[in-house]
């Protein structure tokens, strides 16, 4: 079936949000850890983290407009550092619960019983229960004029992951880490490997490397 | 194990790319369709599509630096329209093959035996084999100064999806559409639903809606 912009623009607000949020496809589930000037920790599930480049090692994420207070955004602006922690199937419900509107004084770590972890004196809390996580330094904030969202660009400073999952060629065997992805606003999926494919070349048949 | 920036900066180039590409988490697999001034079609697998906002309906994606010719980027700049097509498990190998360096004169549709489809006079080709796809109008291009990548912001104009997958509340039952996601540069996964969770509220237990 075909649905035009004129049609979905007339959907009721919540229905429209449900619909449009499904269109970018399966989204990575990440928890973003941050800290304020009073050492209060904050944790937020974010589905808009994306790879920006390998050299320098950059990662982007979108945060919503700051027309109301956004603890994660304020903390990152003030402190300059944050952590990105992959959500796995053992903690996805706790991760989802961080999206509730807790007061600034309440740490989502405590409220959801996830454990703050400090690694190598990095100035933001990691999630101990995450199997793959990295510490990031904010290098640029861009405001998207179309809808006043914020693009935060970060430089990866520190990585922590399960040793067995890292292969000699630098790839990480995500299948070992029980990762989850999200569709829309609230539906969580685990994954099954189809295959790892060879580097694509013109006039050469692909092969399954794994 | 902990790996610092100093350590992974010294990885050989390919190993570093493999490593850093894994960090944003599971990525959506999408095929971007475009067309040039001579009606030559182009198709490219892109793993950096992300949701930007529901009202207006905006989607972002990152394209690599234009220091060499990038057909997708040139076509979108010239024509102003493109399509984003979800990759499913039946076509993921063909989708991966579009990443080979075909000459500009060669259509990746033909080379990979995917079928161009034109819907509602939209000025870019869709992928007939995709179960969920949408047509986008370019509204802004931002250059990311950190690494000269390009952020393309598009407005969703037209949506096509399997009728059975659209629910009354606007959500799309992605599980029905056999979607795939990507880890790193080359590893593909299918998904299994864990659950759909209720809207998170403070002091309220989450429930599984589905």
The C-alpha of A38 sits at a distance from chain B's nearest C-alpha, in angstroms, of: 23
**What percent of the residues of chain A are helix, what percent strand, and what percent coil, each to the nearest 5?**
20, 40, 40
> CA angle B153-A50-B81, nearest 5°?
25
**What stretches of chain B adopt beta strand conformation (E)?**
2-4, 27-28, 30-35, 41-46, 50-54, 57-63, 81-86, 116-117, 126-127, 132-144, 149-161, 180-183, 187-196
Q: The tokens of B170 are what? A: 């606007």
**Facing residue for B197 by CB, picked from A13, A20, A188:** A188
Virtual CA dihedral for B169, B174, B175, B178, nearest 10 degrees? 150
- Contact of A189 with B194, CB cutoff 8 Å: yes
User: Between chains, do B206 and A26 touch, taking CB under 8 Å as contact?
Assistant: no
Q: The tokens of B119 are what? A: 């819907």
Q: What's the pLDDT score for residue A2? A: 96
**Facing residue for A197 by CB, picked from B26, B186, B193:** B186
Sheet hosting strand A187-196, strand order edge to edge: A27-28, A180-183, A187-196, B187-196, B180-183, B27-28
User: Between chains, do B171 and A22 touch, taking CB under 8 Å as contact?
Assistant: yes
The DSSP annotation for B86-104 comes to E-BTTTHHHHHHTTS---T
Return d(Cα A140, Cα A151) in angstroms, integer.
8
State chain A's mean pLDDT as an integer: 96
Which of A20, A118, A140 is the best residue to mutate to test the B interface, defined by the most B CB atoms within 10 Å of its own CB?
A20
Q: What's the pLDDT score for residue B62? A: 97
Return d(Cα B30, Cα B189) in angstroms, integer.
13
User: Between chains, do A23 and B189 touch, taking CB under 8 Å as contact?
Assistant: no
**Facing residue for B25 by CB, picked from A21, A179, A201:** A179
User: Between chains, do B101 and A202 touch, taking CB under 8 Å as contact?
Assistant: yes
Return d(Cα B127, Cα B124) in angstroms, integer.
10
> CA angle B10-A56-A127, nearest 5°?
90
In this prediction the ipTM stands at 0.95
pLDDT in tens, chain B (210 residues): 999 999 999 999 999 999 999 999 999 999 999 999 999 999 999 999 999 999 999 999 999 998 888 899 999 999 999 999 999 999 999 999 999 999 999 999 999 999 999 999 999 999 999 999 999 999 999 999 999 999 999 999 999 999 899 999 999 999 899 999 999 999 999 999 999 999 999 999 999 998
A123-134 average pLDDT score: 98
- Contact of B177 with B165, CB cutoff 8 Å: yes
User: Between chains, do B188 and A193 touch, taking CB under 8 Å as contact?
Assistant: yes
Has residue A175 got a pLDDT over 90? Answer: no
User: Between chains, do A144 and B166 touch, taking CB under 8 Å as contact?
Assistant: no
CA distances from A143 to A12, A64, B57 (A): 27, 10, 17
Return d(Cα A83, Cα A46) in angstroms, integer.
12
Long-range contacts of B136-142 (CB under 8 A, 24+ apart): B136/B59, B136/B81, B136/B82, B136/B83, B136/B84, B137/B80, B137/B81, B138/B76, B138/B77, B138/B80, B138/B81, B138/B82, B139/A146, B139/B58, B140/A145, B140/A146, B141/B77, B142/A142
User: Between chains, do B158 and A2 touch, taking CB under 8 Å as contact?
Assistant: yes
Return d(Cα A12, Cα A1) in angstroms, integer.
20
pLDDT tier at A83, thresholds 50, 70, 90: very high
User: Between chains, do B140 and A146 touch, taking CB under 8 Å as contact?
Assistant: yes
Return d(Cα B135, Cα B139) in angstroms, integer.
13
- Contact of B76 with B174, CB cutoff 8 Å: no
Has residue A17 got a pLDDT over 90? Answer: yes
Return d(Cα A139, Cα B146) in angstroms, integer.
8
- Contact of A60 with A139, CB cutoff 8 Å: no
pTM: 0.96
Return d(Cα B95, Cα B145) in angstroms, integer.
29
pLDDT tier at A57, thresholds 50, 70, 90: very high
Name the closest residue on chain B to residue A95, using Cα atoms. Answer: B200
Q: What's the pLDDT score for residue A103? A: 92
User: Between chains, do A189 and B191 touch, taking CB under 8 Å as contact?
Assistant: yes
Q: Please list every residue in chain B whose beta carbon sits closer than 8 Å to the beta carbon of residue A198.
A: 186
Has residue A19 got a pLDDT over 90? Answer: yes
Name the closest residue on chain A to residue B53, using Cα atoms. Answer: A147
Return d(Cα A29, Cα A3) in angstroms, integer.
28
CA distances from B90 to A66, B96, B119 (A): 41, 12, 22
Q: Please list every residue in chain A whose beta carbon sits closer than 8 Å to the beta carbon of residue B113.
A: none
Q: Please list every residue in chain A whose beta carbon sits closer than 8 Å to the beta carbon of residue B13.
A: 55
Question: Facing residues of A137 across strands?
Answer: A81, A155
Q: What's the pLDDT score for residue A67? A: 83
The C-alpha of B38 sits at a distance from chain A's nearest C-alpha, in angstroms, of: 23
Q: Please list every residue in chain A whose beta carbon sits closer than 8 Å to the beta carbon of residue B132.
A: 22-23
Q: The tokens of A17 are what? A: 């949000």
**Facing residue for A58 by CB, picked from B49, B140, B146:** B146
The contacts of residue B6 (CB under 8 Å, 6+ apart) are: none
- Contact of A135 with A157, CB cutoff 8 Å: yes
**Facing residue for B193 by CB, picked from A14, A21, A187:** A187
Q: Quick one: which of A13, A47, A32 has its CA closest to A154? A: A32
């Amino acid at each position: 079936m075909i649905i035009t912009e004129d049609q979905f623009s007339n959907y009721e607000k919540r229905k429209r949000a449900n619909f449009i949020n499904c269109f970018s496809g399966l989204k990575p589930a990440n928890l973003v850890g941050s800290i304020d000037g009073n050492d209060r920790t904050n944790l937020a599930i974010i589905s808009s983290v994306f790879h920006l480049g390998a050299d320098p090692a950059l990662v982007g994420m979108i945060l919503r407009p700051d027309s109301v207070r956004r603890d994660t955004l304020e903390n990152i602006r003030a402190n300059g550092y944050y952590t990105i922690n992959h959500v796995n199937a053992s903690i996805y419900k706790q991760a989802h619960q961080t999206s509730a509107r807790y007061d600034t004084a309440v740490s989502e770590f405590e409220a959801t019983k996830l454990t703050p972890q400090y690694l190598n004196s990095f100035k933001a809390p990691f999630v101990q229960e995450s199997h793959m996580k990295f510490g990031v330094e904010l290098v640029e904030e861009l405001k998207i004029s179309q809808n006043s969202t914020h693009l935060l660009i970060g430089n990866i400073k520190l990585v922590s992951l399960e040793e067995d999952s890292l292969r000699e060629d630098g790839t990480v065997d995500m299948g070992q880490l029980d990762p989850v992805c999200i569709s829309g606003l609230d539906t969580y999926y685990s994954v099954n490997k189809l295959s790892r494919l060879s580097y694509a070349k013109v006039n050469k048949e692909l092969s399954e490397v794994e």
